[in-house]
Amino acid sequence: FVIYQDSSVIVLNKPPGLATQGGSGITSHIDGMLDSLTQGKKQRPRLVHRLDRDTSGVLVIARTVPAAAALAESLRHRDASKIYWALTKGAPEKKRGTIKLALAKRGGRGEERMTGVERDAENAKHAITDYAVLDHAGAEFAWVAAKPVTGRTHQIRVHLASLGTPIIGDYKYGALAARPKGAIEDKLHLHARSIDIAHPDGGRLRVTAPLPKHMLKTWKLLGFDPDAKSDPFARVRK
């Protein structure tokens, strides 16, 4: 659960199915557990970013108010690199690319979803995601690394679905095409693999989170390397 900590930050490997914050019908969430992570400090740890409920992986927590402000500033100025791993249905036509598709919220309460729209559409927010296909299992599945340049709600999920390659287990945006086959578990296959962000005390904070059990099982089943450490975006965008 805690994969890194020092006097200013704590980094969690959030399990899938656990919400980052509370909401309608949500009684168990990371924000409600932060009191247990004070560990002698008088200040309550603070969230500085979020992950979707069913997305696992790196979640950075600030241990002090100054650290929270510094991390928020780094995120605001995009001085952070977050890489996600996903299993998609089929492989994107191009092995490497950048998706530029504006997003807008549609639907009523409880049925809200993000939709790709024209940039000048009402309430549209520009969204950019770099991606790279790291491996594939025939034409059926692909291991895709995604690096969001902007940080919109459900951005990676909508963007990969827009290529005709939805994330396995993502029925909200992939419908029946997101259904797994064989021994692959019927869960969202999206993991916040790593983060590289300016550390509040100077230097860089670089942390990598191991895959959750269901994705580790899938990676081994398909012959993918769950311990791969290369950065496919090192020469694409810094």
Compute the distance between CA of residue 219 and CA of residue 224 in angstroms, rounded to an integer: 5
The encoded tokens of residue 182 equal 């064989």
What 3-state class would DSSP assign to 114?
A: strand
52 is catalytic: yes
Closest of 192, 198, 195, 196 to residue 211, by C-alpha: 192
Site of tokens 């805690």: 2
* Paired tokens of 94: 């191009």
| Nearby residues of 29 by Cβ (< 8 Å), 6 or more positions away | 18, 19, 20, 21, 22, 23
Backbone angles phi, psi at 31, to 5 degrees: -55, -35
List the structure tokens of 183.
Answer: 């021994």
Helix (H) or strand (E) holding 220: helix 213-222
Report the run of H or E that residue 197 belongs to, with start and end.
strand 190-198
Residue 153, classified by CB atoms within 10 Å of its CB into exposed (0-12), middle (13-18) or buried (19+), is middle
Catalytic residue selected from 52, 54, 130, 170: 52
Please give the positions annotated as active site: 52
